[in-house]
C-alpha cells in the first residue's frame, strides 16, 4: 500500500502498553533447564522476561494497555468504533478476546474481533484499521497486540523457553493532519513455511486428547534456524519496500522499531538500513519476544521516553509464524 491520498492522513494518536510485574531472569531459567545467562545473552540479547500471573488471562493485558492508549489519545471509550486484538494466545477459542475486553473497557459502540498473524499481528492490525478509517467507515480504531507466550512455552525445551515473554501494546488509529501518520504499509505471507513455527494441537486438526497433552503438542514448536534466515531477509526487504512506496530514501529514516525476537536479527536490519544504534529501539533484554506485543510496546516506550519525536519518519517492521511479515512507515 502506497501513500494515503486523502486530504487528511491516518495515523496513531495515542499509545499504551502493559507488562506483568513478575520477572523471570536468565538465572531463574538456569534452575529449570540446562542453560546459562552467558549462553542466552550471547545468542539472543535477552536478560529477562515478564510472566503473567496464573489467575489472569490475555484479556487482562489487553484491558490495561487499551485504557492507557485511550487516555493518551484523549478519547473516551464511547468514541472507539472498533477493537482489533492481535494474539496467538486468546483467552479461549471463542468468544474473541476483543469481545471480552470490550465490556471491561466500556467501548459500548465498538465492533470487536481477534486477528491472528503471530508476531506480525500489530502491523496486520494497523493495516485493517487504516482501511476502516481511510474508507470513512470508522473514526477511531483501537488496535491491541497482546500475548501470554508463557502459557504455550515448554519450560523443558531450552531451545525455545529462553526466548519468550508476556505483554501487551496498544494504539488508537484515527485521522491525523495531512502528510502525517501512515505513509506506506506492506504485509505478506508465505504459507510454505507454516511448519517452521507452530502450535500443533488444540485446534480442529489435533483436538485436545490425553495423547496430544502427553506428547507436548500444546506447546510452541520452532525450527529456529529457518525462522532466523527468513527474518533476516524479510526485515530488510519489507523495510525497503515501504521506504520506496512512501517516496523516501534510506537517509530519510529517523528511527526503527523492529520486532524484538533476537538481537542478531535486529543488528542485521540496522546495518542494512544504515542506521546508528541510537536510532533503533531495543527492549528485548527486558522482555524477550512478546510476539505481536513486541512492536507496540517498544513504540510506546520510544515515544514516551522522547526517543521518537514529532515529525520523525519511523519504520515498524516484524515477522512471525505463518510465515508472515509486515512493515509500516509512519510519520509521527
Q: List active site positions.
A: 119, 259, 289
* Strand-by-strand arrangement of the 166-176 sheet: 9-18, 166-176, 141-148, 82-86, 111-115
Report the alpha-carbon distance of residue 103 to residue 1 in Å, rounded: 33
Report the alpha-carbon distance of residue 118 to residue 199 in Å, rounded: 11
What burial letters (b/e) apply to 179-188, b meaning 16+ CB within 10 Å? ebbbbbbbbb
Report the alpha-carbon distance of residue 167 to residue 163 in Å, rounded: 14
* C-alpha of 61 from chain center: 13
Report the alpha-carbon distance of residue 169 to residue 15 in Å, rounded: 8
Report the alpha-carbon distance of residue 306 to residue 27 in Å, rounded: 32
Query: Alpha-carbon Rg of the chain, whole angstroms?
Result: 19
Residue 284, judged by CB atoms within 10 A of its CB (0-12, 13-18, 19+), counts as buried
Amino acid at each position: 500500500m502506497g501513500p494515503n491520498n486523502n486530504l487528511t492522513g491516518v495515523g496513531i494518536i495515542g499509545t499504551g502498553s502493559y507488562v506483568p510485574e513478575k520477572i523471570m531472569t536468565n538465572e531463574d531459567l538456569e534452575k529449570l533447564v540446562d542453560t546459562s545467562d552467558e549462553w542466552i545473552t550471547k545468542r539472543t540479547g535477552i536478560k529477562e522476561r515478564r510472566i503473567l500471573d496464573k489467575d489472569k488471562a490475555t484479556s487482562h493485558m489487553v484491558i490495561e494497555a487499551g485504557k492507557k492508549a485511550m487516555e493518551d489519545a484523549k478519547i473516551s471509550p464511547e468514541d472507539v468504533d472498533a477493537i482489533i486484538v492481535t494474539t496467538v494466545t486468546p483467552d479461549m477459542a471463542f468468544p474473541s478476546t476483543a469481545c471480552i475486553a470490550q465490556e471491561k473497557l466500556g467501548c459500548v459502540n465498538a465492533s470487536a474481533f481477534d486477528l491472528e498473524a503471530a508476531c506480525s499481528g500489530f502491523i496486520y492490525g494497523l493495516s485493517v484499521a487504516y482501511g476502516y478509517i481511510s474508507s470513512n467507515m470508522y473514526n477511531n480504531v483501537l488496535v491491541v497486540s497482546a500475548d501470554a507466550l508463557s502459557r504455550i512455552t515448554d519450560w523443558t525445551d531450552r531451545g525455545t523457553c529462553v526466548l519468550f515473554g508476556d505483554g501487551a501494546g496498544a494504539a488508537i488509529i484515527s485521522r491525523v493532519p495531512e502528510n502525517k501518520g501512515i505513509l506506506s504499509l506492506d504485509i505478506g505471507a508465505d504459507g510454505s513455511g507454516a511448519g517452521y513455527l507452530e502450535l500443533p494441537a488444540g485446534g480442529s486438526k489435533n483436538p485436545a486428547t490425553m495423547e496430544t497433552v502427553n506428547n507436548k503438542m500444546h506447546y510452541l514448536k520452532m525450527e529456529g534456524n529457518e525462522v532466523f534466515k527468513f527474518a533476516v531477509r524479510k526485515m530488510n526487504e519489507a523495510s525497503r519496500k515501504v521506504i520506496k512506496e512512501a517516496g523516501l530514501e534510506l537517509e530519510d529514516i529517523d528511527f526503527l522499531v523492529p520486532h524484538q525476537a533476537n538481537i542478531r536479527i535486529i543488528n542485521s536490519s540496522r546495518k542494512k538500513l544504515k542506521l546508528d544504534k541510537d536510532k533503533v529501539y531495543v527492549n528485548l533484554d527486558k522482555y524477550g519476544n512478546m510476539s505481536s506485543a513486541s512492536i507496540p510496546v517498544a513504540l510506546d516506550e520510544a515515544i514516551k521516553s522522547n526517543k521518537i519525536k514529532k515529525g520523525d519518519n519511523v519504520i515498524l517492521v516484524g515477522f512471525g509464524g505463518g510465515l508472515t511479515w509486515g512493515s509500516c512507515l509512519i510519520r509521527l
